[in-house]
Amino acid sequence: MTRLTRVCRAVGVGLAAVTATLAMTQAASAAPAPPTAPAELAPPPGNEAFLVAPAKGVQIYKCQSATVNGTTTFSWAFVAPQATLTGDNGQIITHSAGPIWKAPDGSSVTGSNPIRFPTVFDPATAKDIQQLLLKGTPSGTGVLAATTFIQRLNTQGGTQPPAAECKAQTAGKVKEVPYKADYVFFKAA
């Protein structure tokens, strides 16, 4: 084998290694594909997903009483979510009452006009909270500043506590119910 042949082979092996490394790096840094959503929760045409963020937190409920015609009843009322989202690039976003999502860069988005799925939903018997599509109203500059819509998908947990746990002895008490979900943030294409 000539010296030129050995050099050509070494260069070829080196180029193959570099190509494979670049391909793996590109695959590792590519944003994950958004989770599959029910058709009812698709944002209008002209919007594209730009951030997928799994969330872990709690849905907060309060035991409230109401008196109608001299009869007092007790039921759980939703108060607020409280969760932490980890975005595609490790971005931490907080989710709280409003509903509002805030990024460390000062940008935020408030959700409104929810479309819920499934549309027929009994919180007393459901295992998981509903999936949602919300219209986004952003503020500030930064990662969330261009948000047009937010989806809450793949929900796990978070439904109201059992009705039997809300009674005269627990009126006014707050209960935090753990939940997980995937949030997908959209912007104008």
Domain residue ranges in the chain: 1-30, 39-188
Distance separating alpha carbons of residues 160 and 56, to the nearest angstrom: 16
This prediction's pTM: 0.79
For residue 2, how many other CB atoms are within 10 A of its CB? 7
Phi, psi (rounded to 5 degrees) for 125: -115, -10
For residue 31, how many other CB atoms are within 10 A of its CB? 12
Residue 23 has what pLDDT?
37
Highest mean pLDDT pick, 13-17, 72-76, 135-139:
135-139
Beta bridge pairs of residue 114: none
Residue 125 has what pLDDT?
77
Rg of the chain taking only CA atoms, in angstroms:
24
